Amino acid sequence: MSEYSPWEKRFERERASRKEAEKILESKSSEIYEMNKNLENLVYKRTIELEEALKKANIAKVSKANFLANMSHEIRTPMNGILGFTQLIAEGDLNKSQREYINIVNSSTKTLLSIINNILDYSKNESEKVNIELIKVEPFMELKNCFMLYDSTAKAKNINYRFNMDKNIHHYLYMDIYKIHQIISNLITNAIKFTDVNKDVEVNIEVKSDEDSSQVLRFSVKDQGIGIAPENIDKIFEAFLQADNSTTRKFGGTGLGLSITSSFVNAMGGKLKVESELNQGSVFFFELEFEKCNEESNHTSENKSINKVISEKINKKVKVLIVDDYEFNQILAGEILKSFGIEFDICDDGEKAIEFALKNNYDAILMDVNMPILNGLNATRILKNTHHLKTPIIALTANAIAGDKEKFLQAGMDDYISKPIEIDILVKVLGKYISINEI
Amino acid sequence: MKGLVFTELLEYVEANFGFDMLDKIIEDAKLKNNGAYTQGGNYDFDELLKLLVSISKESGIEIPKLLEIFGEHMFVKLTSLNPEFKSKFNSSLDLISNVDQIIHPEVEKLYPGVDLPRFNEIERSEDTLVLDYISNKHLEHFAIGLMHGCAKNFNEDLDISYEALADSTRFTIKNKIEY
């Protein structure tokens, strides 16, 4: 090298180091390429594993849904008995206090049923898709009944329990009364639970604005309980969370209440809010708009007209087939039909139902779905598809999971009544079909 | 030995002693590749020793002193390549005591198989750190230079002493700045 000038040597050094750097770069590139290939293989393998896991999770989800459907049936069947027979007792001769008690039993049962439905809904992760069912109600009576439910609990704790309802609330409003019941019940239960003896719990319902066709009502439940610390205020509407863990130990509860309550208020277009001071108490409040209802066609008179329609047909000998494997369901449906003078036959499985339906000329068939030997869906398919029976078949079932109605209609059923049977709904649905098939 | 040490050393010599002297140093050192180093390459430690001997001869600076000066310069270069390391530590002692736990593991990720010295922490107080340096290359003075570079970075001044043990060298590092 010494025969070269220093600059030539420098140039040669730079060139050699550049070449080496290029070699290193090339080898690093192949290294990265290999690593990338391995990574792609790993991603592919992991994706297959994830797809497998997803498949398993979906199977588990279907099992869970089936389990919930069965649970729904199992819980609703005895509820059907309680609610139905309570309604029948209420129809009879009762003294004033007996009527008051039976109304409370009835109202509690409906609330319990609504809670069961909501827990099932919640378990199915459908809490955000709460279905609102508006019916005409007398708000004053309904809300007072709800308030009265907790009167004895409050008295037992020596709590000054007050209820103030604005006199200007419209006589009839369209509302989802079961959900309103549940919201108010939940807030009152909490207020009583967290308030000490000799303190106040106050429920206020006032008209916030009044239009020709609607009213905005403000509901508030105020307590003098333990209150909520500012840092916990946002947490209390989350599922399974209470203000802190010691709350659960001291006061009980699932921690689901306020989350469901809040989701119901949201679904009805309102927002559940709270103002609270630690150790002073809390006020839970919300505002909702309700459509007014024409008093000429109120709930009671509508029922009367349906009852009248059915009564008129009694002379023409209306006959219905009840298909149900539970004896008390048979008795209940029978008692309701009897009270309208409707004749009926009873059988307890799908096979017998086909036999009865083909032999007799019924005006309607009330068909249970889950039955031994042949279930209601298959019996309906045979009657409608094979024998081309025109008689309306109404599903009468405790399977109240969303999507069931479509399944029943697809099988050829004409309508659907969810158990527990409510007299009004049974009469309304039955009246619709008997009127269609004029005899 | 990583090529970065070689390329930095040659650039440092050229910047401080000029191109002609660098050429002479390379010529005298009789290096395997005639001094054509690249930052990402790996070279024999013996080559570095040859270079150090040659630089010392030409400059008249003792090798230990030369390593200390170069170590101090190297710290600045290393932190400019990896600026995130500096912000992770609060003081020079904090950084030095974490070389084995935090810095070297990252270096190993970047250069798999790299031969790094080990630093075992023996004692640590607010202003003093005692650690054992273990390396068959025995670049203690390079380590001292790096530590002084580190102290400068934190506007600190370190008093560093060392003693040879059977398999290691024990450094006692004191921060001269009073808290």
Same domain, A393 and A327: yes
Q: What is the three-class DSSP state of A169?
A: coil
CA-nearest of A270, A13, A333 to B37 is A13
Who contacts A10 (Cβ-Cβ below 8 Å, separation ≥6)? Answer: B19, B23
B19-60 confidence digits (pLDDT tens) = 999 999 999 999 999 999 998 889 999 999 999 999 999 999
Q: How far apart are CA A113 and CA A107, in angstroms?
A: 10
Instruction: Classify residue A389 as left (phi > 0), alpha (psi -120 to 50) or beta.
Output: beta
pLDDT at residue A298 in the model:
42
Measured between beta carbons, the chain B residues lying within 8 angstroms of A16 are: 33-34, 36
Same domain, A159 and A275: yes
Residue A211 in this model has a pLDDT that exceeds 70: yes
Same domain, A323 and A254: no
Same domain, A324 and A399: yes
Residue B130 in this model has a pLDDT that exceeds 90: yes
Residue A334 in this model has a pLDDT that exceeds 80: yes
Q: Chain A closest CA to B112's CA: distance in Å? A: 12
Same domain, A224 and A363: no
Of B33, B35, B38, the CB nearest to A21: B38
Question: Residue B110's closest chain A neighbor by CA?
Answer: A28
Question: Residue A21's closest chain B neighbor by CA?
Answer: B38
pLDDT at residue A87 in the model:
80
Query: Which of these three, A225, A260, A292, is where a domain ends?
Result: A292
pLDDT at residue B74 in the model:
94
Residue B6 in this model has a pLDDT that exceeds 90: yes
The residue-averaged pLDDT of B60-68 equals 95
pLDDT at residue B112 in the model:
80
- A376 in any annotated domain: yes
Same domain, A426 and A323: yes
The vertex-A284 CA angle with A279 and A286, nearest 5°, equals 165
Q: Which long-range contacts (CB under 8 A, 24 or more apart) does B104-109 make?
A: B106/B82
Who contacts B35 (Cβ-Cβ below 8 Å, separation ≥6)? Answer: A13, B10, B26, B29
What's the CATH code of the domain at A430? 3.40.50.2300
- A29 in any annotated domain: no
Residue A117 in this model has a pLDDT that exceeds 80: no
Question: Bridge partners of A214?
Answer: A291
- A80 in any annotated domain: no
Residue A217 in this model has a pLDDT that exceeds 80: yes
A339-370 confidence digits (pLDDT tens) = 778 889 999 899 999 999 999 888 899 998 88
pLDDT at residue A399 in the model:
58
Who contacts B89 (Cβ-Cβ below 8 Å, separation ≥6)? Answer: B95, B98
Residue B169 in this model has a pLDDT that exceeds 90: yes
Same domain, A274 and A319: no
pLDDT at residue A52 in the model:
94
A231-252 confidence digits (pLDDT tens) = 777 777 665 454 554 544 444 4
- A268 in any annotated domain: yes
Q: What percent of chain A has pLDDT over 70?
A: 82
pLDDT at residue B31 in the model:
94
Residue A137 in this model has a pLDDT that exceeds 50: yes
pLDDT at residue B178 in the model:
55
Measured between beta carbons, the chain B residues lying within 8 angstroms of A10 are: 19, 23
Q: Chain B closest CA to A8's CA: distance in Å? A: 11
Give the pTM.
0.47
pLDDT at residue A124 in the model:
52
pLDDT at residue A303 in the model:
43
- A383 in any annotated domain: yes
- A343 in any annotated domain: yes
Measured between beta carbons, the chain B residues lying within 8 angstroms of A15 are: 36
Q: Are β-strands A200-210 and A214-223 bridged in parallel, bridged antiparallel, or unpaired?
A: antiparallel
Q: Which residue has the higher pLDDT, A142 or A131?
A: A142
A59-103 confidence digits (pLDDT tens) = 887 777 677 767 766 777 788 788 888 888 887 888 888 888 888
| Cβ atoms of residues A170 and A292 within 8 Å | yes
Q: Which residue has the higher pLDDT, A295 or A15?
A: A15
- Amino acid found at A387: H
Confidence of residue A333 (pLDDT cuts 50, 70, 90): confident
CB contact under 8 A, A24 and B34: no
CB contact under 8 A, A6 and B23: yes
Confidence of residue B135 (pLDDT cuts 50, 70, 90): very high
Measured between beta carbons, the chain B residues lying within 8 angstroms of A18 are: 38
pLDDT at residue A301 in the model:
37
Contact with chain A for residue B41, Cβ under 8 A: yes
Measured between beta carbons, the chain B residues lying within 8 angstroms of A24 are: 38, 40-41
Contact with chain A for residue B33, Cβ under 8 A: yes
pLDDT at residue B96 in the model:
95
Confidence of residue A216 (pLDDT cuts 50, 70, 90): very high
Q: How far apart are CA A103 and CA A106, in angstroms?
A: 5
Measured between beta carbons, the chain A residues lying within 8 angstroms of B20 are: 6
pLDDT at residue A239 in the model:
52
Measured between beta carbons, the chain A residues lying within 8 angstroms of B19 are: 6, 10
A380-405 confidence digits (pLDDT tens) = 999 988 888 888 999 887 655 556 77
What's the CATH code of the domain at A160? 3.30.565.10
Q: Which residue has the higher pLDDT, B69 or A93?
A: B69
Domain encompassing residue A169: 139-292
Contact with chain A for residue B19, Cβ under 8 A: yes
Contact with chain A for residue B25, Cβ under 8 A: no
A293-307 confidence digits (pLDDT tens) = 865 544 443 444 445
CB contact under 8 A, A17 and B37: yes
Confidence of residue A147 (pLDDT cuts 50, 70, 90): confident
Residue A184 in this model has a pLDDT that exceeds 60: yes
Question: Residue A5's closest chain B neighbor by CA?
Answer: B23
Same domain, A344 and A396: yes
Of A13, A14, A21, the CB nearest to B40: A21
- A32 in any annotated domain: no
Of A2, A16, A28, the CB nearest to B36: A16
Same domain, A379 and A274: no
Q: Chain B closest CA to A15's CA: distance in Å? A: 8
- What count of CB pairs under 8 Å joins A to B? 40
| Cβ atoms of residues A139 and A173 within 8 Å | yes
Same domain, A209 and A318: no
pLDDT at residue A316 in the model:
62
Q: Chain A closest CA to B39's CA: distance in Å? A: 8
Query: Which of these three, A240, A264, A292, is where a domain ends?
Result: A292
The count of domains in chain A is 2
pLDDT at residue A437 in the model:
37
- A63 in any annotated domain: no
Residue A435 in this model has a pLDDT that exceeds 80: no
The mean predicted confidence, pLDDT, of chain A is 80
Q: What percent of chain B has pLDDT over 90?
A: 77
Same domain, A430 and A385: yes
CB contact under 8 A, B40 and A6: no
Same domain, A266 and A325: no
Mutate to test the interface with A, among B11, B21, B23 (most CBs of A within 10 A): B23
